[in-house]
Amino acid sequence: MMATASKQPQVEGSSHRSVRVEIFDQAYNLRGSDAEHILKLAEYVDAKMRAVAEQARTVDTVRVAVLAALNIADEYHLLRRSNDGGRVDYLTRARNLASVLDEVLADQRPKG
Cα of 70 vs its chain's centroid, Å: 14
Contact 55, 44 (CB under 8 A): no
Q: For residue 60, what are the domain limits?
A: 5-108
Cα 18 to Cα 26: distance, rounded to the nearest angstrom: 16
For the ranges 44-48, 74-78, 90-94, the lowest mean pLDDT is seen at 90-94
pTM over 0.95: no
The structural domain count of the chain equals: 1
Query: Residues 6 or more apart from 42 whose CB is under 8 A from it?
Result: 3, 5, 21, 22, 23, 28, 30
Q: Mapping DSSP to helix (H, G, I), strand (E, B) and coil, where does residue 16 land? A: coil
For residues 73 and 91, the model is more confident at 73
- Taking alpha carbons only, the member of 27, 25, 24 closest to residue 68 is 24
